[in-house]
Structure 1
């Protein structure tokens, strides 16, 4: 306010002028505020639950291009890794049992970079010597079997998977493989981008051959031999699109006649070398294996030696000296995976331990990080959500009576497994020591492969998981009709035992509901209550599902993609996951209401805030752009807001008005199980 110069006046007049000036000043300010453009209205639970519940976190976790995504579940993954690091550090310094001693030695050998450098290629020297000993055709099949034994699959893949005719049994699957590039089409496509990758791969093959002992004057010739053999394998392979349906890779054959049918591959002898005694295996592409058998007979030993030596180096490169690691990263990491930096040493070693000795880590992790009280709480809520799904089936309006009957039967048979699977692991492993990380990797990989081979021919599929308990995971296992809840996922933000009890339902309970709903929805319809692979929905059920979820497609199509200008969420791409999110919230809310009929207002609000906080997420523009085009999940903002806006209980809880953004008209609301 400008200084006003006045002549001397009577005191009363002067005071009156000062008072008027003050009033005038306030009036001016009010006029300026009225004229100023209005800022955005404050965010409330009725305008944007996601931003309301996550305001502080979102402000503190901005990301820029190249930084990927930060999220609540990403923080949980980071916590699980830190816990594993702590466990291994303790096992390294003061092991309390034999398994901890093995893990501690494995960890110490991997962290000792000086020892790894000094070791060079020594860990694979015996394997290379075995390959260099190939002289004639009959030497090739035993060499292939020996490499598979140590966990290095060459020429083809062979592993234990569930029998599609008996989902409780494992069978051995012979499938195509043997290539260094991820898709057989790379070897035949002629476009410039593919040709560039093939050229870069060829250089990588040359680098690895040099590191595994090929003389300089032989490098170009041996590199050409490797590429030529892989082109032949690729030409015999089926396109990956034809193999996405598991049934395309399933055909039981008797093992007794395999040696006669594939005389050079000697697949019967191969099975004996793996310790497999089953009378049947799956071999769905006999033409592929016939072509491989022909290649074994027709190609010279030197070509096989070059191919096998490269694949030994390729498989083991991340666990050897820096020259190997750099070569592997330059191609696989930078070119194929698009990475911008090599993993830190601890990350690399932990990944190796989980790949080769994951079940050993599992036992120790569960003992250290899953309290009995947490397990009990998880079991209680999961059971309550399962009961809510039973009520949801009864209420359901889009399922036919026959489908409802089968859905109830399947739900009655469903198992819930918390923490870790029942394991039949033999922990007898030869001592590792701390001298050689690469050698320890081979020891552990050989042990793990033997454990996998033990599954074949056994009715033990329900005794294992396809996920490690130390990895945060909450998933429905379609083959075994069970809910799998890993030990690592039972921590904040999924299950924070210190939080208000109602929050547990909005986080963990809703995720349980999401997965349990998959047992009887568009995914679960493929396996019935007896474990038979068949579609038990009728065409009317399919139509009912589409009618219900078409509204979700429209709803999510209307959401802008966070961080991207002019980009919308793809409602069709994300349809099934959006439906499962909605199902999860519906079922968890029902379970909470049944468990707490007199739930206080604070508990109701805590339920919804917990759900929203589960999906807090910030993605860099490049990551968001990629996810918008390919991800089957909606971005975090709409995973939080989309489902709850379909629940009348949400608007009732927060007393939202008819015109608030989080309020959907009754006729537009989607219901799956409420």
Structure 2
């Protein structure tokens, strides 16, 4: 029997025609491709072309990420290790003797084990001796003095209404979880973290003297105390806005407003004599004032012992360290293995005595020739930025005038802070690593407190000289280049001038432009908080920013399937990248106008070689959601695609992946 199946035949026939057509189209495409000139690899994916060797040598890790700038940080750490090793064996001066002893005490694991809880024993004894709630404020103040903030945070920072001065800031704190939401939300993931946190609290309480039969009750008391502190507190995102933390109040009225906390006595204990401080969260401190009066003193003793044990756990015996790492390292930070012992001790030295190490690092690793060369490059870039202001069609004349004044007034500090601080610290010796941490952190806290009320804010850096960093300090109108950043791939003394401007120069340009962009325009050349852009200036900037954001929104996020770049997260950094690279190109062209194409290529290649990275899938997903910097491949390619000079250097045509059509290119400082 013959079965009539017209629909099957029709479908088969259509599929056959479709396949024939596809075959014919493919053949035509191959013939066209054979006739068309090949697209240079640099015009297809400049990032991959420039970093082929690095990417081959650095495969994607199972967890975390590897990057060229991360390797620079690793190299700076290795340099610090070598310096400290030498200081421990044969110190050349008293500072090296102190650092060498500190370092040796941390590396002596047997001594650390034998020391056990001894470093914090005096603190625990004081806490255990508390008999009345009225004695709590003095104990809280004493713990702050040794660098262990309990109940709240208090520190020195810039006075937003007088940027040359430091103000004391009372802020929420005294809790161990990263955000107040961890105490108040009840979704499954948060509850899991809280449960693990509770277990960690019990471990620390047991190590600091709580009997087994009391662990449950005291852990519950600690969590209840921290929840009471967290409930009226701001979310982490709000805290990160400095204006949310700025509310100057007279010191004279604090004891009347918070009778149980006795904040006036607290300030005297810290050596602070200023007439005003900032306290922006009265609800938090009102709640805390009530806790000091009404919470049983036994609950406070458990809480304070827990906070001391948690703060000092990384510097005590193995049981403390392992408990802390399991919760904070493995669970919160996603680390699979603990850092090597030397890395752990180096982090501790930098935390407690970083400026001391910074002075020695700069003397060892920064030559006067490199400092001078870096300074010349920065000066050339600043001059070029001032010239770019003159021809910029998007800024009003008043804004150009203020921007010029601000750039001319900008301070340049290379290597280490220009004016040295008092680095004297008590002798630490080699006997007790935990004890040394307390000695050093007490010294650092005292030095910080001395700055409150003083017009010496320009002495302070927010980074250490031994940490690779190029940064614009908006409060002090200051460009900082640390000693550690002046090495490859950022700054290679042996590289060509073109390469130096493509790497170091582009990064300096990134920071220079931040002085006069929409954020920089909030502080004028005299250091006063005021917006000096006109509404038309802001509108013109916003239009350019929107155009760049539209470019970025269509770009795939590398390493995350079907994901795109979030322009809202990364746009500001991308604007500074493009501005800085363009400024560096203009500056270098003015210095070497007759340079050949190979040098132009070296300029852009140096830029690309700042950003190679190998990122694990989980890390890529986390970065895609929250990172404020573009991922390396996009950071390289999105910038060069907007620069006609790149197309000329590599022979790219408009419409090829690495060169946007002229009408789509964005220039902030043409």
Q: Does the pair score TM above 0.5?
A: yes
Whole-angstrom distance in 1 between the partners of 2:358 and 2:220: 43
Pairing 1:529–2:525 present: yes
- Do the aligned partners of 1:475 and 1:483 also contact (CA within 8 Å) in 2? yes
1:662: how far off?
2.0
* 1:64 shift after superposition: 3.5
| Residues 1:54 and 2:51 are matched in the alignment | yes
Q: 1:319 aligned to 294, 312, 315, which one?
A: 315
For residue 564 of structure 1, the aligned residue among 560, 565, 587 is 560
Equivalent residue, structure 1, for 2:93: 97
Gaps of 5+ in 2: 1-29
Greater Cα radius of gyration, structure 1 or 2: 1
- Matches of 2:535 and 2:471, distance apart in 1: 27
Q: Deviations over 1:12-36 (max 9, x none)?
A: xxxxxxxxxxxxxxxxxxxxx99x9
- Name structure 1 gaps, 5 residues minimum: 1-32
Counterpart in the other structure of 2:581: 585
Select 1:436's aligned residue among 417, 424, 432.
Answer: 432
SS of the counterpart of 2:418?
A: coil
**What pairs with 1:59-98 in structure 2 (closer than 5 Å)?**
59-66=56-63, 68-98=64-94
Alignment partner of 1:231 out of 227, 230, 254: 227
Paired residues of 1:422 and 1:464 also in contact (CA < 8 A): no
Which among 303, 307, 318 is matched to residue 307 of structure 1? 303
1:219 to 200, 215, 227: 215
Q: CA 1:96–1:555 in 2, change beyond 3 Å: closer, same or farther? A: same
Counterparts of 2:206 and 2:168 in 1: how far apart (Å)? 35
- Partner SS, residue 292 of structure 1: helix
Cα 1:37/1:387, change in 2 over 3 Å: closer
Deviation at 1:189, TM superposition (A): 1.4
The answer to whether the Cα contact below 8 Å between 1:386 and 1:516 also exists between their aligned partners in 2 is yes
CA distance in 2, matches of 1:125, 1:572: 49
For residue 384 of structure 1, report the CA deviation from its aligned partner: 0.6
8 Å CA contact 1:425, 1:451 repeated in 2: no
Tell me the equivalent position of 2:471: 475
- Aligned partner of 1:457 in structure 2 is 453
Structure 1 counterpart SS, 2:42 = coil
Does structure 1 conserve the Cα–Cα contact (< 8 Å) formed by 2:655 and 2:661? no
In 2, distance between residues paired with 1:77 and 1:434? 28
Structure-to-structure mapping, 1:461-610, within 5 angstroms = 461-610=457-606
- Offset at 1:214? 0.9
Alpha carbons of 1:543 and 1:306: their partners in 2 closer, same or farther (altered >3 Å)?
Answer: same
Matching residue of 1:644: 640
Structure 1 range deviating more: 650-659 or 354-363 = 650-659
Q: Distance in 2 between the 1:661 and 1:303 partners? A: 64
Quick one: which of 108, 120, 124 aligns to 1:124?
A: 120
Is contact 2:115-2:432 (8 Å) kept?
yes
Contact 2:640 2:659 (C-alpha < 8 Å) held by counterparts: no
Q: Give the corresponding residue for 2:12.
A: none
More displaced stretch, 558-567 vs 171-180? 558-567
SS at match of 1:198: helix
Taking a change above 3 Å as real, the CA distance of residues 524 and 105 of structure 1, as seen in their structure-2 partners, is: same
Q: 1:630 to 1:238 in 2, by over 3 A?
A: closer
Equivalent of 2:263, from 263, 267, 273?
267
Using a 3 Å threshold, how does the CA distance of structure 1 residues 121 and 396 change in structure 2: closer, same or farther? same
Contact 1:398–1:548 (8 Å) recurs in 2: no
CA separation in 2, counterparts of 1:149 and 1:171?
17
Distance 1:560 1:252 in 2: 46
- From 657, 661, 665, the counterpart of 1:665: 661
Contact 2:421 2:459 in 1 (8 A): no
1:540 is displaced (CA, Å) by 1.9
Q: Distance in 2 between matches of 1:636 and 1:236?
A: 40
Contact 1:43-1:52 at 8 Å conserved across structures: no
Q: Give the paired residue count.
A: 639
Residue 22 of structure 2 corresponds to: none
TM-score by length of 1: 0.92
Does structure 1 retain, via aligned residues, the 8 Å contact 2:267–2:273? yes
Q: What's the counterpart of residue 208 of structure 1? A: 204
Q: Where does residue 364 of structure 1 map in the other structure? A: 360
RMSD over equivalenced CA pairs, Å: 2.0
1:162–1:170: 8 Å Cα contact kept in structure 2?
yes
